[in-house]
Amino acid sequence: MMKLNLCIDIDGTITDAYYWLEMANEHFGIDIKPFQVTKYEIHEVLEIPKEDYLKFYEVYGEEIHTKADLRDNAKEILWALDQQHKITYVTAREARMKEVTEAWFRKHNLPKGEFHFLGTHYKVDKAKELKCHVFIEDRYENAIQLALAGFEVLLIDCYYNRNPLIPGVTRVFNWGDIHSRIEEYNRSIETIVQKAVDSCQIIEEYKAGHNDGSMKIA
């Protein structure tokens, strides 16, 4: 088995996708249900000005992240993946969320991995820097950007990312799915590598058998 570099988003990917709803509903005096979260931008879902949401996040961000729930089986699968591959957590959360985030990972006993707090949704450059093999995400725009840059993306299904996909992006529905897709991806890479090794072998044998100088195979 090859050791893959896995880049994993946190919010909506490792965490439940709608964990912020309860606090937002309470704060803004509304009653939005998860199925109504059909947009990624929270202020658009809540139909409030962006500044109002940012103010709310400024005050309650740490608390919201602290109270986040884990997706089903995320913990078990992350540990299984950690045995074989390199896990790096790549989040758009800002650096100020570092302590809260790491404490949450400790509380839930998740594999340590390396953290990158980008403070932006743009993840392509980081994926390149980390030599990413598979990126696991919930944000549609990220998935498309990453796939267009040549990365293999697993997009975990949410009400807000049900848009048409392009080659390179695979929709997954849970962490069990993620696990099987990564194993499948690993097997396909191994097949490609094995074919390349076999081809080299065939060429070597061919050269050895035609060593009269008349054939030139580089």
Residues that bind Mg ion (CB under 5 A): 9, 11-12, 138
**Of the two residues 20 and 56, which places its CB atom closer to Mg ion in the complex?**
20
**Of the two residues 14 and 186, which places its CB atom closer to Mg ion in the complex?**
14
Give me the least distance between CB of 91 and Mg ion, in Å please: 7
Catalytic residue selected from 11, 16, 52, 177: 11
**Of the two residues 4 and 90, which places its CB atom closer to Mg ion in the complex?**
90
Mark whether 11 is an active-site residue. yes
160, 137 Cβ separation under 8 angstroms: no
Give me the least distance between CB of 131 and Mg ion, in Å please: 21
138, 17 Cβ separation under 8 angstroms: yes
**Of the two residues 138 and 152, which places its CB atom closer to Mg ion in the complex?**
138
122, 41 Cβ separation under 8 angstroms: no
Give me the least distance between CB of 138 and Mg ion, in Å please: 4
d(CA 39, CA 160): 5
d(CA 171, CA 44): 24
The DSSP line for 54-75 is: HHHHHHHHHHHHHTPPBPTTHH
Give me the least distance between CB of 50 and Mg ion, in Å please: 18
Catalytic residue selected from 9, 16, 31, 125: 9
d(CA 16, CA 32): 16
- Active centre residues (catalytic): 9, 11
